[in-house]
Each structure stands twice: as structure tokens, then as C-alpha cells.
Amino acid sequence: MHVSANFRLTDHMGPKAIVQAFVDAVNNQDWHAIETLVSTGFTRHSIAAGEIGVSSRLDLIKFLRAEYITFPDANEQIVDILGEGDKVAVRMRFRGTQAGILGTYPPTGKPVDSEYLAIYRIEGGLIVEAWAEWDNLATLKQLGLLP
């Protein structure tokens, strides 16, 4: 069987399966798999993320690698997933123990268990855009960094 050089596994996956594969790749810290699932021109929109800009696949991988420095045991789980057309919406659960610096906050050694919402846009079998929002105040309270 001849396979085109342009063949991607995602060409045969639906949008929800692509997002599930992405979450699995993040949990496994499989940066190569992320490169096969996310467009080079990827953009993430997020008010919660503040100053951190994610405007490429490389930026996303740098962000995720930094997240694993802060939360080495981080794990994400899809709680709900809905898809229509080229968009997939997920309610996610994030769990991890803060072992590294979080912005300007020192490591606490405490666990966090929080949910966030994300919408992914798929184009040509790749994730090209995402919108992600979470509750920073609730996370900081769980970590004992705010009253």
C-alpha cells in the first residue's frame, strides 16, 4: 500500500476523536503526537492565561512543557465533549500538584482539582484554533495562595 507523504492519521478521524487524541498526547507529554494533531499556525485565545501568548504550535508546546514543570503530575480528563461542524467543545478536569513556580507564586506542594472549558476548531484534520477559559481565583484558593 502506497501512502502519500501528505497522509495524516487525523485525515481519517472526526473532530471529537482529534480532540481526544490531543488530550491523550498532552497527558502523555507526547510532543511529537501534538505536532501531528495541531497546525503550525495554531492560535489559543484565553483571557485567563493573561500575558502568555500562544500563537503557534511551538508556543503551545512551550506552554504545555512549562505547565508540566509547575504541575509534574498534571492530568487532564474530558468530562463532556460536544461537536458540531468544525468545532468541538469540552468541559475538562485538570488535576495536578504544584511543585514549581506558578507565575509569581512559589511552589506549594498542594494539589489542585479544577475544571475548565475549551472550544477547538478543526480544519484539514488539524486543531487550528482554541478558546480556553478557567477560574484562576479558585485555583489559587485551592493552592492556599489566596484567602
- pLDDT tens track for 15-35: 999 999 999 999 999 999 999
Q: Pairing between strand 38-45 and 126-134?
A: parallel
- pLDDT tens track for 55-87: 999 999 999 999 999 999 999 999 999 999 999
State the pLDDT at residue 139. Answer: 95
Neighbours of 37 (CB within 10 A): 26
CB-based contacts of 118, cutoff 8 Å, min separation 6: 89, 90, 92, 130, 131, 132, 133
Q: What is the pTM of this model?
A: 0.90
How would residue 7 be classed by pLDDT, with cut points 50, 70 and 90? very low
Opening angle at CA 41, ends 37 and 47, nearest 5: 95
Is residue 47's pLDDT more than 60? Answer: yes
Domain range summary for the chain, segments of one domain joined by +:
11-142
- pLDDT tens track for 104-145: 999 999 999 999 999 999 999 999 999 999 999 999 999 999
Is residue 4's pLDDT more than 80? Answer: no
Q: How buried is 82 (Cβ within 10 angstroms: 0-12 exposed, 13-18 middle, 19+ buried)?
A: exposed
How would residue 52 be classed by pLDDT, with cut points 50, 70 and 90? low
State the pLDDT at residue 45. Answer: 94
Cell numbers standing for residue 23: 488530550
CATH classification (class only), 11-142: alpha beta
State the pLDDT at residue 2. Answer: 39
